[in-house]
Amino acid sequence: MAKTITVIIPTYKEKENIDPLVERIQNSLAKYDYEIVIVDDNSADGSEELVSGLAKKYPVKIIVRKNKRGLSSAVVDGIAATDSEFVIVMDADLQHPPEVLPDIAKALENHDFVMGSRYIKGGSPGQWKLSRKIVSRVATLLALPIAPKIKDPMSGFFGFKRSVVDTATLSPTGWKIGLEILVRSKFKTVTEVPYTFVPRARGESKLSRRIMGQYVRQLMDLYSFKYQILNFMVVGGIGYLINIGLYSILVLVPALKTWDINKLLGEGKPNYLPPFVLSSLVAIIFNYLMNRASTFKGWKEQKGGFGRYIAMALATLVLDTALLFVFVKYGNIPPVPAAALAILINFALRYFIARNWVWKQRPAKTKGA
């Protein structure tokens, strides 16, 4: 039978913190039907044996990952292994006080996502050095456009309703898995509860320049997801340059005898149309591959997705070609700029069809769904 709360704790060489952490969680959540799931990256420091012993007294278990590493992916594996109503994620180093767990649990009764916050009234980053505070604030500002309702999007102490999160939509890279879940899931209501960040008493901090680099890459990925149409524009822009560049070559290069230079000026018969169709087909294939890998990453491609995309692209290509003809014949616009204008006009239509007919956002699902 599913528990009410699952507390997920990713670990790597945190043995000395596990015992006091589990005991404090028990003291905080004793009145709840809860479990603790520790996801360990094969620390080989005795953590597995320790948890096995603690399991005789507390509702705790450990998942040891032999061939995977990373805090974010550990959390995702932990989420996939539970079907509790609520999931709360916290660090193992005791910097996230377990005494705040009841506050998060209570807030989850009325909200889909709850972030433990150091930057709202009642919270504090604790005894940080000035340099650490600056790094945190800068990182927070960078995340503001994609998480505007949260003042502490960098927090690793958070909870959510399990039914709203689909792990298949997550890209578990870097350390800020809370931000990843917040941005990629469809939460109707979010809130924050205050906590004071506690200095690490045991073990070593794992913050490094590599982690900061991973955060920047994660931000780029999340911006792309949050503002999907911008990513579609970037992909389309590259395809656009490929299309217009190839088209310019086909109508301008003297070695290609099929079309002469007069056609570029819009004179004579509309033989500027065939090279446009050819260059567009090349751009269509490029755009499909890039949108599949980037714009709609994590989305489910509809059955026959490639065929659907080609059908959509060919239909809009007919419109592009018709506009090109009208612009050249009746607007006296040279073919190359006319082609560029025609493609831009149908951009929004292509985006709408792609996100509603070719790809479909995956619905949230629970374990076993």
Question: Could you give the count of Cα atoms lying within 13 Å of 180 in the half-sphere of its Cβ?
Answer: 26
User: Mean pLDDT over residues 343-348, rounded?
Assistant: 83
If one compares 259 and 86, the residue with the highest pLDDT of the two is 86
Q: State the average pLDDT over residues 284-302.
A: 82
Predicted local confidence at residue 295, as pLDDT: 76
Q: What is the predicted pLDDT for the residue at 103?
A: 97
* 364 pLDDT more than 50: no
For residue 9, the model assigns a pLDDT of 96
Count other C-beta atoms under 10 Å from residue 205's C-beta: 11
pLDDT at 253: 56
Please name the residue that has the structure tokens 């450990």: 62
**Higher-confidence position of 107 and 350:** 107
Q: How many CB atoms are closer than 10 A to CB 102?
A: 16
pLDDT at position 1:
54
CA 337 to chain centre: 36
The pLDDT score that the predictor gives to residue 254 is 52
What rounded mean pLDDT belongs to the chain? 84
Q: Which residues pair with 289 in a beta bridge?
A: none
Distance (Å) of CA 323 to CA 78, 163, 217, 338, 340 = 53, 47, 39, 8, 10
- Tell me how far apart the alpha carbons of residues 98 and 74 are, in angstroms, rounded to a whole number: 20
The helices-and-strands tally (H runs, E runs) of the chain is: 13, 9
Give residue 204's pLDDT: 57
The pLDDT tens digits for 26-41 are: 999 999 999 999 999 9
298: confidence class by pLDDT, cuts 50, 70, 90 = low
Sign of the torsion formed by the C-alpha atoms of 196, 199, 204 and 205: positive
What does the pLDDT read at residue 32? 94
pLDDT reading at 69 higher than 80: yes
pLDDT, tens only, 135-172:
888 888 888 888 888 999 989 999 999 999 988 888 77
Q: Counting Cβ atoms within 10 Å, is residue 1 exposed (0-12), middle (13-18) or buried (19+)?
A: exposed
Give the pLDDT band (50/70/90) at residue 67.
confident
Nearest to 189 by CA among 106, 116, 115, 111: 111
Contact between 298 and 184 (Cβ < 8 Å): yes
Q: What is the pTM for the complete model shown?
A: 0.69
φ, ψ dihedrals at 217, nearest 5°: -65, -40
| Higher-scoring residue by pLDDT: 2, 73 | 73
pLDDT in tens, 192-241: 999 999 876 665 555 556 677 777 778 777 887 777 777 777 888 888 88
Is 268 a residue whose pLDDT tops 70?
Answer: no
Which CATH code is given to the segment(s) 5-225? 3.90.550.10
Residue 2 pLDDT level (bands cut at 50, 70, 90): low
d(CA 180, CA 170): 7
| DSSP 3-state of 185 | coil
- List the single range of 22-36, 82-96, 119-133, 147-161 with lowest mean pLDDT: 119-133
pLDDT at residue 361 in the model:
66
Residue ranges per domain, the chain?
5-225, 228-360
